[in-house]
Structure 1
Amino acid sequence: MTETLHFHPAPDAGVGELGSVLQATLPLLSQLLEAVPARVVVIDVNERFVWANHEFFKFTGLHPKQVLTQPIGRILGESAYASYSAVRERLATGQTVAWEGWTELAGVGRRYMREHLVPVDVREGVPQATVAISLDLTELKLRDAQLSAKVAELEATQALKSSIFDNAMAALVSTDETGHIVEFNPAAAAMFGIVREQAMGRAVAEVMIPPRLRAAHDAGMARVTASGEQRVMGRRVEMPALRADGTEFPVEMLLWRTAVGSETFYTASLFDLSERQTAQSEIERQREALRQSEKLTAMGSLLAGVAHELNNPLSIVMGRASLLAEKMSGHALAADAQRIHEAAERCGRIVRTFLNMARSRPANRSEVALNDLATAAVDMLAYVLRSHGIAVTLDLLPGLPPVKADADQIGQIVLNLIVNAQQALGARDHGRQLTVSTGVAPMTDGDRRRVPRVWLRVRDNGPGIAPELHERVFEPFFTTKSEGVGTGLGLAVSRSIARDHGGELTLQDDGSGACFCLQLPVSGEPEATETEPVPLATTDECSARVLVVDDEPEIAELIGEMLGGAGYEVMTAESGAVALAMLAEARFDAIVSDLHMPDVDGAQLWREVRASQPALARRMLFVTGDTLSPIARQFLSEARCDSLNKPFSKQELLGRVTALLRP
């Protein structure tokens, strides 16, 4: 840095004509000013340089002969000289002036100057000279500007990093070499359930690591600190962590090391894996449920095929047993024939239940007898219940009103409730009891339903279900059964079906065991009791001529005997083509035909009959082993013809034919 000194002599004084005082002291003053590390100049009253120290000449690069006696404007430059106008006015009044700022100097360029100008030898209010001391602060100013810019940049970077750190979704925790927390962002506070102020300065193991793992954690960090071990650095590691409330939860951690001067810090980025693991478990449960569903679907298709094939022989067994019982009426063997018929009828109900469960079809609501569904379910599960030592009691209300419902869906509910009870009773060593009961729900004066309801209860004397789980058992995928026994979907689906029918499925507190109650609205008159006779044909109806068409001779012969025994005139055809030929030659009042036949099947036969004899086409009854198949269902809906499922009893057959022949 350099300074300059200027003197202003009196207007009439020459360069060598300084005041006597100044003249006497000039040698000593010159020595002092030459030693000053600043630029010092003396300017006379005419604004000419009269003296300057070595620092000035070094700064300007000029020789004393080029400067002394020269006007300051010529040396400083016109721009710098013009900028001194206000300073010169104040100096002319005898004021001392101090200023600093940027100025453009001739031969030097733009510089940042700090100057102190002192008027001296004032005569009659006019300074005869001015001493100017100048410091060039350009380099300092530039370094200061650079430093300020760097500080601003660092502050911006720090603000950005703080913003990222504070708003990161991941939990970020930094510690020093001793393992004490020095940074703890809001995400970490939310994850671990502890505010930042409480975490700062504490050992990270105390805040985040479960007690059983702290020794291993401390040993691992000691190895990292001592040897710089890199095994865990930069790797994603899954581990258990500890919340402030003492609960453990899984996290994924990424750890890295940062050196700041002579200090080392460790920062961990942590992600809570609780939701991910829950979702993975849920997906796995759903996959297992899907696998179970696929297995059940495949098994259902197999059972449906087997059941369908059993229908024809079961029809023969039932029909022949019924005819044999009639022929042996009054004989001791009649009871044996009746038992054969009842056993075959039970097999028929089981087969029909298999078909209902196995076939996927749209909901088909009709009047359903709840007692029949309960009986069919118990029949189907009879062997399982008996082999598990379960005593079953059926307490069914006679004459129970029917419900408007899908028989397959409601039957699924009943089966599910009985299976659940059977599995629950496995926890009891002996005295296993299961009761299936039905009844009509009482209606009070304040009952707003205005629709009577029937109920079905399945009660067991097993271990029961804890009160706090009474509603949870109806949640999807929740189960109280052991691993691999259930999927947790049965009760959820059952309740959904019940509510879709306007009913409800509840778990009642029975004191001991479990009691599930299904309630459904009734839809009509009380159901007929099992002993109610099927209306028989009148004399005119019995004289009708009926054509029986079936490709299985034994079935055709059986139907013929049943109808013939009731007084009908019966002719049989072993195929649809033969039936068409017979229809062209003779008159018939009704047709009983199998639906599935080679060559001309029942549907094609109906279309041919409708084209030639429309009235007779409305008096056709189709016998089939599976009316639930899509093709059969579509045809029967189109033809609006009645159907009879195999196996069937004589009473069912005669009742359908009688209804067919009535006007």
Structure 2
Amino acid sequence: MSDSTPVGCGCEIQQPQAVLAVAPDAYIAVDATGRIVAWNPAAQTTFGHDHAHACGRDLADLIIPDRYRAAHRAGLARLGAGEPARVLGQRLHLQALHADGHEFPIELTLTATEGSTGPVFHAFGHDVTTTWRISRFAEVEATVSRGLAEAASSHTAATRVVDALGVTMSWPVTELWLADDDRDVLLCSARHAAPGRRLGRFALDELEPGVGLAGRVYQQGRPLWIPDLAADTASLRSRAAARIGLHVAVGVPINTGARSIGALCVYGDRIEDPEDSLTTLLVGVAAQVGQYLERRRAEELTIELARTKDEFLALVTHELRNPLAVITSTASLLEEELDGLLDADQRQYVHTILRGAGRLSVLVDDLLDLARLESGHLAIDPAPSDLVAIVEHAVAAIAAQSAEKALTVTIDTPARLDLYADSSRLQQVADNLLSNAVKYTPAGGAITITAAADPDEAWITWTFTDTGIGIPPADRPHLFRRFYRASTALDRRIPGTGLGLVITRAIIERHGGTIGLANHNGPGTTFHIRVPTKPDVASNP
């Protein structure tokens, strides 16, 4: 036996040293006090301590988890005293402690011999983590199936999946990521962390596709195993994981049909090689999640369609019936009393009729634009245009209503902003956003419109800001959904169809631009728009 593969620590061990040095199982011998007197190379591989460090040490302090040490020492004392022991010669399943601090299951057999100074106890064992995991697969799959079947929401389902993997499989951290509706960001739908595990900066809630384990798995659409997170120097998140004691990770994509919609990731606290069985389990769980989400989405779509139908019927009932009633009743009065009416009264009646007809005309135009939008036929006819002229025209058109409410309307733009766009459609955008600002801003408020070109003049940034009733955070994600009305508008019974912003976004996006709600301090709302000045910019933002 070479010096590089020592086994015995004292002459009292008389086993064939060469055989133990190459044995695949860990071999440990201890005396009656628990002091290690033999330690073969397989023991070093299994527990992480080399021969020089292990020999002479108390076994309990070295490889027994703290909560089991008292019981271990009591049992060893009984064996040393010659009491009958059922553990000798039996196959035992225990928890062991690795040099890096993680616990793992081992299977061992314990025997005893009499040495020159008293009894010597011999243990032959091996790491059974893989076997243990495989034995838990059925339990995990059953737990996941039950959790998905009982989940009342996608969030609850995601939480149950990560808990099943984290608790049942003893992974320190498990995460489930799903792409948002626009597929440009991944959101952490659920995360499980073992008790006492501090995640710090590792616990991100958003990732871009291609970034981090989840982002790479989602983008590539295939499983990925990182056997050593500290060596994954290209990933900031891998380095953050290594700093909190996570060493290995595996992720698998979540698919619905042929499309990747997210990733399921687990993180471990020890470096290990890939296991086909574990990847297979995770792929199976991810498939269950994908099927659940696909079924859930179909159910939600059915509910959404039914609700949209109800909202549309309510819209037709309210938004069409009211102006029609005004037109009908006013026209009847005008017909009955025409001979006795003064010119001023006639003009007032005619104005009322025209206002009701105007409301109907706007609604019909919105419904037609919505139909064109859904059929893909919303026409955009670009030509050289001036955005400043469009803004000024919108402000002039709304002047009477803004003056009636004593609103201050401010325009902050250069003298001209040239772009290649459909001026009539951008006029529709300006009219819609400005009309909303006037409608939802109380008397005496202020409206500010800004527009400016970027330094390279490739894009124009355009904003509409008001001091109105604002939009609650809970309503913001739904604001561009057809027929949706913010709760603040509904509470104040402010009329509207919930179609204007849907059409506005469609027009901006057909120009290659973007529109959204900007962060806004104080009361009111700010819409932030970016449009390209030239058609070819839209494809290279």
- The TM-score with structure 1 as length reference comes to 0.26
Structure (1 or 2) with the larger CA radius of gyration: 1
